[in-house]
Amino acid sequence: MAMSWVNEDLSRQFGEIATLLKLKGVDAFRVRAYERAAATIGAAPVDLSMLDEREIAALSGIGAGTASKIAEYLGTGAIAMLERLRSEVPPGMVELVRVPGLGPKTARLLHDELGIDGLEALREALDAGRLEGLKGLGTKTAANLRDAVARMGAKDTGRLPAADAIAVAEQLCATLRTVPGVAEVAYAGSLRRMRSTIGDIDVLAAATDAPPVMDALRGAGTTVKVLAAGEKKTSVLTVRGLQADLRVVEAEAWGAALVYFTGSKAHNVRIRERAVRQGLTLNEYGLYRRETGERLASRTEADVYAALGMDEVPPPMREDTGEVEAAAAGQLPRVVTLGDLRGDLHGHSSWSGDGKATLDDMAAAAAARGYAYWAVTDHAENLSINGLSREQVRARRGDLRRVQETVPQMRLLDGAELNIGIDGALDYDLDFLLSFEFCVASVHSLMQRPAAEQTARIIAAIEHPAVCVIGHPTGRILGKRPGYDIDLDAILDAAVETGTALEVNASPRRLDLSGSMVRRAVERGATLAISSDAHSVGDLASMRYGVATAQRGWATPAGILNCLDVDGLLAFVDRKRAR
DNA sequence: GCCGTTTTCGGCCCGACTGTTTTCAGTCG
């Protein structure tokens, strides 16, 4: 994607440096420094090519050495140190450490002793039984590696879209809640932080007796293979090639364990460093005074952060992208929460071909969520199968007036989700468009166009007086298709200039804008709309994933369109139209 | 390599599990 291509490439290159250094066996702290730099760069809300070397060195985790390498990359397009490392480390070793359970030490051993230079050579050596007998490697290790290599060849591997992982995780949690003696169960990890794709499922349980909970996981219907089973922790392979890790703790340690298990790893390392500087030590059982061993906090996450002298950090923000410093200074932004939302501005009824519930049912469910308004934005005429003709729009308006009577406490807004044509043209005509109360405009076709063309068509829609929100701005479907190429900064500038909002589509299949794009939008002062894009009653509950995604981008209620009350919202529409 | 309420050197988060070891190294998160 056009956005932050420089950052992504740099992040990848520093990640590769870290991997190669690890394979060379250098000091682990140096490796960690490069890993941290890669993470910082990958999450930076500003394109690094826009900054000078001093500003780059001011980023947390980036010092003079890394900054000069970044400058070198920006000047020459390459980092000489990386080129040198690539020539020094046999290429196949990078492939070897991708095998779960096979780390740098073993990779080095396999290469030096057996000449194994890649996955294929490892397979052959395993088949020939050549690993057994190597010092430190027995028959069990060989069998585990054989399994791991075989799994790598299977179809269902790698990260899953959040929507799929949520389904597995919730099923797992439900199973564990039925175990006697279990006080609390929650999923943590990247799922709780609401990353858009999920590598594994982390489940935490509080119970007086751990073994029955472990047994329940091993026996769960979703469990394919047990990878590790100890007193405090069990790891299994579940359906869809997803690993699930379960930790069981006493209820008194719940908060500390939740902090630990939610991560991110980088966030944990940073707050543990902070603890050490205060003469404390933090682990999954609590925050302790170093000298006396006295436990200062552990029951809730709020207790732990408070005892560290920090604001409590919402899980989606725990990525070590500045939140630790901000929370320590008491300056963490008060990010948007579900309770701040006054309505939902993108939803469908059965008037659209793809809507699965009637206007009555959708409106009743939206009202039951306590919304002050709900915009029904059925598809417009240019979406051939699902769209509404003008005749159907007029008929729906009659229906809308009738349904409005049934939900007196909530304002139903007569809306549409328009189609952005290849040249930026919209459905209907100007007068008809202005007869709607609220319009979202989205790209639904011709998604593989060059960035310049794609950007221009979206900006054309942004400039249209009837368009209040651009729906799912990048068009990505997680696990299925990447977003279209756009120049996000140009789109953000146009949105700010015209007073148009960009959507944070809350569907866990989309999460579009992404968290990092939200952060960029917030930096540039763009208005966002968090919308469920519900096609069914159940979809309305997806809003929480949109809120989490907005939190990942540090969005505050002040920048969210649907945190406004009805009057504020309608004033926003009027201002846009007056331009 | 980074960093500072130990501030330009000397530290750097902490624990669980496995396998192959008789006390611990390697890997993972």
Q: Is residue A1 scored above 50 in pLDDT?
A: no
Expressed as residue numbers, the domain containing A270 is 255-328
Residue A133 within any structural domain of the chain: yes
Residue A267 within any structural domain of the chain: yes
CATH of residue A82's domain is 1.10.150.110
pLDDT of residue A137: 87
Q: Is residue A267 scored above 70 in pLDDT?
A: yes
In this prediction, residues A169-198 reach a mean pLDDT of 94
Residue A545 within any structural domain of the chain: yes
CATH of residue A402's domain is 3.20.20.140
CATH of residue A269's domain is 3.30.210.10
CATH of residue A147's domain is 1.10.150.20
Nucleic strand B under 7 Å from the C-beta of A356: no
Torsion of CA A260, A262, A267, A272, to 10 degrees: -10
Whether residues A472 and A525 fall in one domain: yes
In this prediction, residues A114-131 reach a mean pLDDT of 90
Which stretch of DSSP H or E encloses residue A244?
A: strand A243-249
Whether residues A113 and A237 fall in one domain: no
Q: Count the alpha carbons within 13 Å of A468 in the hemisphere toward its beta carbon.
A: 30
Strands (E) across A34-187 are located at 160-161, 182-187
The nucleotide minimizing the C1' distance to residue A21's CA is B1
Whether residues A411 and A526 fall in one domain: yes
In this prediction, residues A195-208 reach a mean pLDDT of 93
Q: Is residue A72 scored above 60 in pLDDT?
A: yes
Strand order in the sheet with A280-283: A280-283, A286-289, A295-297
Residues lying close to strand B (Cβ under 7 A), chosen from 213-232 of chain A, are 228-232
**Of the ranges A146-160, A208-222, A478-492, which one carries the lowest mean pLDDT score?**
A146-160
Task: Name the more confident of A480 and A577.
Answer: A577
- Residue closest to sugar C1' of B18 by CA: A228
- Residue spans of alpha helices (H) in A52-103: 53-57, 64-76, 80-88, 92-96
Nucleic strand B under 7 Å from the C-beta of A427: no
Whether residues A10 and A77 fall in one domain: yes
Whether residues A510 and A543 fall in one domain: yes
The nucleotide minimizing the C1' distance to residue A101's CA is B27
The nucleotide minimizing the C1' distance to residue A265's CA is B29
pTM for the whole thing?
A: 0.91
Whether residues A415 and A470 fall in one domain: yes
- Residue closest to sugar C1' of B21 by CA: A136
CATH of residue A214's domain is 3.30.460.10
Q: How far: A225 CA to B13 C1' (Å)?
A: 31
Residue A516 within any structural domain of the chain: yes
Identify whether the C-beta of residue A562 lies closer than 8 Å to the C-beta of residue A530.
yes
Whether residues A84 and A97 fall in one domain: no
Residue A177 within any structural domain of the chain: yes
The nucleotide minimizing the C1' distance to residue A99's CA is B27
Tokens 């780059």 belong to residue: A56
Q: Decide which of A328, A354, A379 is a domain's last residue.
A: A328
Whether residues A103 and A70 fall in one domain: no
Residues lying close to strand B (Cβ under 7 A), chosen from 239-258 of chain A, are 243, 245
Confidence of residue A344 (pLDDT cuts 50, 70, 90): very high
As a whole number of angstroms, the distance between CA A416 and CA A106 comes to 59
Residue A108 within any structural domain of the chain: yes
Q: What is the number of domains present in chain A?
A: 5
Helices (H) and strands (E) in chain A, counts: 24, 17
Please report, for residues A98, A126, A163, A577, the alpha-carbon distance to residue A474 in angstroms, rounded to integers and kept in the order given: 31, 45, 18, 24
Identify whether the C-beta of residue A414 lies closer than 8 Å to the C-beta of residue A437.
yes
pLDDT of residue A2: 46
Nucleic strand B under 7 Å from the C-beta of A29: yes
Q: Which nucleotides of B are covered by protein (CB under 7 A)?
A: 1-3, 5-6, 11-21, 25-29
Residues lying close to strand B (Cβ under 7 A), chosen from 482-511 of chain A, are none
Nucleic strand B under 7 Å from the C-beta of A107: yes
Whether residues A278 and A221 fall in one domain: no
As a whole number of angstroms, the distance between CA A247 and CA A260 comes to 11
Q: Is residue A311 scored above 90 in pLDDT?
A: yes
Torsion of CA A234, A238, A244, A249, to 10 degrees: -50
Confidence of residue A6 (pLDDT cuts 50, 70, 90): confident
Q: Is residue A3 scored above 60 in pLDDT?
A: no
Whether residues A84 and A120 fall in one domain: no
In this prediction, residues A229-243 reach a mean pLDDT of 90
pLDDT tens profile A411-446: 999 999 999 998 899 999 999 999 999 999 999 988
Q: Decide which of A133, A152, A171 is a domain's last residue.
A: A152
Q: Is residue A133 scored above 80 in pLDDT?
A: no
Nucleic strand B under 7 Å from the C-beta of A155: no
As a whole number of angstroms, the distance between CA A502 and CA A550 comes to 12
Task: Name the more confident of A260 and A150.
Answer: A260
pLDDT tens profile A531-565: 999 999 999 999 999 999 999 999 999 999 999 99
In this prediction, residues A40-56 reach a mean pLDDT of 87
Confidence of residue A157 (pLDDT cuts 50, 70, 90): low
pLDDT tens profile A512-535: 999 999 999 999 999 999 999 999
Q: Decide which of A207, A230, A248 is a domain's last residue.
A: A248
Residue A333 within any structural domain of the chain: no
Q: Is residue A171 scored above 70 in pLDDT?
A: yes
Six token digits for residue A321: 């992208």
* pLDDT, chain A, mean: 92
Residue A398 within any structural domain of the chain: yes
Nearest CA to A561 out of A343, A412, A335 is that of A343
Whether residues A171 and A47 fall in one domain: no
Whether residues A52 and A102 fall in one domain: no
As a whole number of angstroms, the distance between CA A70 and CA A49 comes to 9
Q: In the 8-state DSSP scheme, what is residue A466?
A: T
pLDDT tens profile A438-493: 999 999 988 888 889 999 999 999 999 999 999 999 999 988 888 888 999 999 99
